[in-house]
């Protein structure tokens, strides 16, 4: 994901980047270590202990200006790129397994799957021309394209990250899929 980001959103373009499901925050810290403006990086996670750990990691690496927010991406308002300014959208959203985790959560009270609410939230959070890069170990590239690449969402397939493949039983596959989408 880092190499893709470096190629598609170089640090000198000063993008606003939201890491959805940041966990220990290592992705945002790694971006800062590669020249991205830490004040434009935000890690989001619904787990307060994860956010506390992410802050400790960032502070330990001397990046205290990376923002970490405890928030439920599906059920709460997506945070603004600039704290206190409403209406802002993100240049780049990153997902390293959050969609996979949400897919395991079942159905909501209205009978719809919770994961079906994720793609519209992604589209809503991106500015026009913004990108969403997702890495999944549970969904194929085609399944991700079907879930996210639709005219209704305003997201179109942009590119993919090539991962090592394996062959079993006459079929080839990959352990994970990384796909990027662009907001129209």
Q: What fold does the segment set 2-183 form as a domain?
A: Rossmann fold (3.40.50)
Strands 126-136 and 90-95: parallel
Question: What is the average per-residue pLDDT within 110-120?
Answer: 88
Kindly tell me if the per-residue pLDDT of 69 is higher than 70: yes
Break the chain into its structural domains and give their ranges: 2-183
pLDDT of residue 83: 76
Query: What pLDDT digit, counting tens, does each position of 30-66 carry?
Result: 999 999 999 999 999 999 999 999 999 999 999 999 9
Of the candidates 82, 97, 177, the residue with the CA atom closest to the CA atom of residue 139: 177
Query: What pLDDT digit, counting tens, does each position of 134-169 carry?
Result: 999 999 999 999 999 999 999 999 999 887 666 778
pTM: 0.91
């Amino acid at each position: 994901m880092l190499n893709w980001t470096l190629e598609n959103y170089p640090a000198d373009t000063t993008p606003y980047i939201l890491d959805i499901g940041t966990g220990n925050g290592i992705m945002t810290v790694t971006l800062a270590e590669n020249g991205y403006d830490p004040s434009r990086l935000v890690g989001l996670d619904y787990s307060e202990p994860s956010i506390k750990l992410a802050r400790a990691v960032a502070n330990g690496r001397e990046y205290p200006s990376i923002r970490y927010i405890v928030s439920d991406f599906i059920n709460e308002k997506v945070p603004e790129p600039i704290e206190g300014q409403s209406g802002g959208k993100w240049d780049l959203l990153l997902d390293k397994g959050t969609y996979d985790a949400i897919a395991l959560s079942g159905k909501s009270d209205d009978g719809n799957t919770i994961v079906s609410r994720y793609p519209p939230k992604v589209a809503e959070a991106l500015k026009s021309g913004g990108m969403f890069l997702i890495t999944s170990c549970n969904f194929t590239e085609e399944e991700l394209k079907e879930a996210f690449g639709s005219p209704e969402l305003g997201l179109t397939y942009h590119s993919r990250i090539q991962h090592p493949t394996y062959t079993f039983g006459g079929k080839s596959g990959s352990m994970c899929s990384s796909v990027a989408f662009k907001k129209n």
